[in-house]
Structure 1
Amino acid sequence: AIPKIPLRALIFDSKYDPYLGVIAHFRIIDGELQPGEKIYLMATKTEAEAKEIGYFTPERSIQKDLKTGEIGYLATGIKKPGKVRVGDTITKISNLEPLPGYQEPKPMVFASVYPENPDDYELLKEALAKLKLNDASLAFEPKLKDYNPSTASSHSSLRSERAPSLGRGYQCGFLGSLHVEIVLERLRREFGLNLVVSIPSVVFKIINQKNQEIFIYSPSDWLPTSEIKEILEPWVKLEIITPTV
């Protein structure tokens, strides 16, 4: 008998369902998958079960199995959105070589986001996690102070923040000003959140007198002038092509 090829599937999108948990949209590269089988998400090292699988027709159509080359959905039952990432590899065993996945976008613009009602802090946290499921460019991780734009992934650019007058909030990373507007509008429409948002700004890199690199995300973090040796900010080199007049 010909041995079965182990399952490897690539997640390209996902959404959250209150009953089925995170629903991953994926393509099977190798092997096959049936409902009830145990699965393993390689990037987050998370074990789960295939609660339901199927195609889009365009509504969800439940199937008994999915095979190599097919595109479909997988209800994981996972209730924590951060456990399922776009570009992750789904397998049944943990010792396979993961698929290449996608190059993660790096945030370039940062803004502090606070709920108008302090009691909505946990709702804001949950809403950001759910938006991250189908918006891989939204930055999301607790420690922003350690974020280095030249090396960090998109998962390392959101931290919990506290302002004396505004209470607890989050400092988020975005691709640009338009992305900021889209995310804030989704938070308001889809989750009913009223928000207070700081003016978006880029990250400045300061070289201090000891030749140490320090990344500045808000004016409150700025160093005294006597400690600054050099100030650097992001620049983009681009080529603009226009039609001949």
Structure 2
Amino acid sequence: MRLFLIAICAVLWAAAPARADLTFCNDSAGRAVLAIGYKGAEGWTSEGWWEVTAGDCATVVPGPLPLTHYYWRGSTGEEDFPAGDFYFCTSETSFTIVGDTECEARGYARERFSEIVVGQTGEATVRITGAAAPPPEPEPAAENVDLQAVLQSLQGVWHDLEESSATTIIREDRIEDRYLGIVVGNATFTLAPTCDGAGGAGPVMLVTYEGTDAGPICWIILKLDDREWQFVPAGYDEPSRMRRGV
């Protein structure tokens, strides 16, 4: 199996920077072409491409940066750099695209981006050190997964990282969705090692919302610990990211 170098995205903060920018530094042996995504005044927006030759740095967004999160993807021209589970529209030529949905219907590609978290100083630097193959397929669910432990870990209040006004509260096997403190949805769920459409990934939550005739929705749990919960409905690409709260 062919091996590639791993691209490392590191956010660096200086003690007293003269400027605060979003900068990409290419520490790899070849050129890199880059695109970014962010939530602009008109909604989710993607822009590209910037070319950064080997050994050089390029300021993509001059600072201080107004947003706490940006997203990026890159390529050497032959291999893509590793990307996360955030999706934006792209084009082969230079682009600024508003909206991150219906990409193909509008004549664009829909591709994965990685997250950049901006520090308190309002700057971020991404260092690129190599290229890599596409991310592997999800591992099959373990047969001996402890579903009771998963249930206990889900209990509590969760805040949506993409929509600060949205909150999900889980009590036992019940889900309560709130927006600006107002209840907007109630559901029940059961846990299972996997489900149809998950490709063996899991564990999963089989969620049934009250007031609908639809059958259970299969939420594939991607990450669950004492701070963060990530899940994606089977058949979808974009995960929901939740942070535990009070």
Global fold match (TM > 0.5): no
For normalisation by structure 2, the TM-score amounts to 0.26
Q: TM-score, normalised by structure 1?
A: 0.26
If each structure's helix is expressed as a fraction of its own residues, which one has the higher value?
A: 1
Point out the structure with the larger strand share.
Answer: 2
